[in-house]
Structures are given as structure tokens and as C-alpha cells.
Structure 1
């Protein structure tokens, strides 16, 4: 009769990376805020193996937010899936401008919504807003639907206004349009985190960076309510041309900026008596 084999000893759990080792690996990979990133990775990881995997992905150059699966934006934890545009902290300034202009029951539309961070943050600051959002990228739409679910928001897949319900025409109080505004020839100058790991459609604004914006402003009067506002982010050097685009299409325009956050926002307003575009 064969002799029974001895049972295998239990496998020892994988040893967690010491915090100092995480910091050292991140710093060696060029992460400027290595200690802060290490704290986020350690607090988010479910176990030692998960932490090791997260550190590996960050060291390989994935955006921190894609590694974590979320980004902090306007005090919210916003889900950010791989490949989806990561909401920038400077864009919180745009949301702050929108909050100051929006009535409590505003109808809000978030074009080029990406993760849905802007719309979700805005309606979280209002009492009874109605939120609609759209994006041409299916991955962004899936992500945004999770982020706006708590606000009963609706997200549509399609190009700018195309998928929006016709019933919204002339009713929109706040039109957020975080359009791509990087000139095509400058895409190659972006950090690899954006250039490699975010969808190009979320970055490329055409030859002068304003191609998508022109398409937004061309139809804005059709969708804005009287007194409604279009808000979008641009660069400081593009602001003058962006203002001309807004005014050409029938809106009054002003520029708000925040030097501390390097943020420039253009606000276009439909006059109370202004008709829709022909």
C-alpha cells in the first residue's frame, strides 16, 4: 500500500511592500509627489498583491487615477476607467463659475463629458438640477453613467448635441463643454500620461485647438434658455480667439481666470431676448 504523502504546508501570505519601498520605487520612476502617491496606493490596495500590482502599473507610466480607479474632483471621488480622460484639478474652477451662475433647479448639459465629473460636481452643489451628458467615446459614456447615477443623470453616446433629447432645446440653463483644445501639432508635447493613456478624441482640438469649440458655439443658441450660460475651459493664449468665436455665434462673452490653478474659462451668455440660431 502506498504511503500517504504529507500535506503541503500552507502558503505564506505575500509580504506587503514597506511604505518606504513604495516611495523609493515611485521616486525612481520620476513621480514628483512620491510620498503622497504612495499613501493613496497603500490606502486603496486591497492586499499585498494588489499593492504590488498597482505600484508596478504606476511605475510603468499609467496615470495615478487610472491605477487607483478614481480621481478626487470638487470633493467627490469620481470613477475613472482606463483610457478615460482624467478630470484636472484646474477644471474645478470652471465648476465653481457654473455654481455661481446656476439656479437651484437648473437644466444642466455636460458635453464632451468624459468621466462625467463636471456635471456630477455641479449638480451635487445644486438643489434640484436636471443633468444630461454626452460623449462620443463609449468607454467614457460607461464611466460617466456610473458617476452620475446618484444624481439621476442621463448620459448619451454620440457627437456633441446629436444624441440629446430634442425636448432640451431652449431649456438649458448651464451648458458645460469641456472640449478638447490642444492643437493637433502639440499633442506630441503632452506628458506621456495623457498622450499615451487618454483617448486622443478627448485631447485633440484640431489645427488651432478650437475646432470642437466652433461646433459647440454654432448650435449653442438653439439649446440655451434665455439667460443661459455656456462655460468651457481654454488656454490663456487661445482665450481671445475663443471669445471671438462665442460672440460671432450670438452670445455675449467674458473671461474668468485663476492664476493659482492656471485656469482660463470663457463664459458665453444668451441674452434674455435673443432668438435661437437660424
Structure 2
């Protein structure tokens, strides 16, 4: 096969159904270091691999975040969760990124807040390896384990911002997700249980003992699930409210420890 030209890259991506073929081609052409690497990247994208996995990075809240194949790709709408956390706790000194995936949320919070004690945790070892690299520039610590079990005990009662981008797709709706997510991202990062709120309820129930007085926990959910999510926070003893971005289709539940 002859080397790809910019025009043939665009044509190949468009033929594969990439809606933003021109933009994606520009990113791939800028990232590839050799003609062989360019051909391999185009082939992987045409085969359906998420663009971020092809590139090896994702743009998130002004950062270029490393993303490996098999690791959850940070969504642009989750930037709203970061902004809500910064507005709620602009002087937080201890930050935890739970269900961290690539660690994008923790890295973005640390980049904005300055010098903080940063911890990220995920049940998926591949995600933790990826997160460790992304939070290293901020002196962050990455931990493997199930939710709070992964965290050092000395964080109890000290956390100013607990960001938990939990999985919230109901189990019987996972098959309805786009193929890029369904086929290339870990199920544990997508499946939130029967009603999609199983992990969220566990986070809400345990969060108060980890938060500092006035500390906040933030989770993303769907519009349909939001009332039940707020109720879970309230039942855990948190002062709860819902923040919505119609532009980003983002719904974030914010709970504050009294």
C-alpha cells in the first residue's frame, strides 16, 4: 500500500463512518512519527478503535491525558464535574479521584488547585497504571482496589474533594452503547448494576467518613437517574444538590459533609 496522504487519510476515515473525519485526520497526521505508524493508526481507527486509544492521549480540561487501549476514555462532559468541584471547594488541599480510569479528573483538579495531596484509585490495574503516569507530574499516588478499600486509612476525615466518576449505565443497557465504548472500554467502567446506581450508592454511603468537614463528593449520572442519586446522597447524611450543564449533557450530584 502506498503511504497515506492527508487526503487519503480523510477518505479512509470518512468511509469508515467517522463523522469528524477531517478533524481526526489532522490529529492522527500530527501524532504519527513515521509513515508506517501513520498507516497503523489509520488502520486501527478504521477498525473501530476509539480515536483516543489510537492517538494514545485525550484532551481533557486543558491537559493532554495519556490513554491506553483498554482504559476508559475521559469524556468531555466530565469537565463539568471538575468545574463544579473547583467551584465548591476552591481551596481543597486533599483530593481523591475514585473510579479514576486514566486519572484525568484528578490530574485536572490538581492542575487547577496547585499544590494538593492527590490520590487516585480504581479496581482495574490497567487503569491504575495509566493514572499513575498522568498524576505523577502532580505528585499523585495511585492505588488499586475496590472503591475506598484502595485508599490509605489516614485519608479518613481529611478529603476536601472526592470525585467519583462511577459507572452508571444499567446492566441491560450496556449493549446499547456505541461500539467504541462497548467493545473497547472495560465493562467495570461502564456497568453500574441493575438500575445503574449500584456503585453510586456505595460511594454515597461511605463518603461521609472520608470527607473533611465541609468536604464534597461529586458523581456524574444521567438525567433520568438524578433524583434517585440525590436521594442516595441525602440518605447518607450529605447536603445534596444537582448541577446540570445542558450544553455538555452533564448531570452532577454534589454532596457536602456538614
CA offsets per residue over residues 240-271 of structure 1, 9 Å max, x none? 00001000011011010110110010000110
Structure 2 counterpart of 1:177, from 156, 160, 164? 164
**Which residue in the other structure is 1:190 paired with?**
177
Flag as ranges the 4+ runs of structure 1 deviating above 4 A: none
**Counterpart Cα distance in 2 of 1:153 and 1:15:** 45
Partner Cα separation in structure 2 for residue 80 and residue 38 of structure 1: 18
Instruction: List gaps (5 residues or longer) in structure 1.
Output: 1-13, 272-278
2:91 maps to 1:108:
no
Paired residue for 2:218? 231
Residue aligning to 1:201: 188
TM-score by length of 1: 0.91
Alignment gaps of 5+ in structure 2: none
Residues 233 and 264 of structure 1 are in contact (CA less than 8 Å); yes or no, is this contact kept in structure 2? yes
The structure number with the bigger radius of gyration is 1
Select the residue among 115, 125, 137 that pairs with 1:150: 137
- Corresponding residue number in structure 2 for 1:36: 23
Q: Give how far 1:218 is off.
A: 1.0
Q: Using structure 2 for the length normalisation, give the TM-score.
A: 0.98
> Does the 8 Å contact 1:105/1:128 carry over to 2?
no
* In structure 2, distance between residues paired with 1:27 and 1:42: 15
Q: Could you tell me how far apart the structure 2 residues matched to 1:107 and 1:238 are?
A: 29
CA RMSD in angstroms, aligned pairs only: 0.9
**Residue 163 of structure 1 pairs with residue 182 of structure 2:** no
**CA deviation string 1:16-41 (max 9, x = no partner):** 31111111110110100000000000
Alignment partners' CA distance in 2, 1:163 and 1:118: 17
Distance (whole Å) between structure 2 residues aligned to residue 112 and residue 58 of structure 1: 26
Equivalent residue, structure 2, for 1:274: none
Structure 1 residues 56-76: Cα deviation after superposition (integer angstroms, max 9, x where no partner)? 000000000000000000010
Match of 1:16 in 2: 3
Aligned residues: 258
How far does residue 129 in structure 1 lie from its aligned partner after superposition?
1.3
Map 1:29-178 onto structure 2 (within 5 A).
29-178=16-165
**1:27 aligned partner:** 14
Matched residue, 1:214: 201
- Deviation, structure 1 residue 15: 4.9
User: Cα offset for 1:102?
Assistant: 2.2
Q: CA deviation at 1:125?
A: 0.3
What secondary structure is seen at the aligned counterpart in 1 of 2:133?
helix
Preserved CA contact (<8 Å) 1:134 1:155: yes
Provide the rounded CA distance (Å) in 1 between the counterparts of 2:166 and 2:203: 9
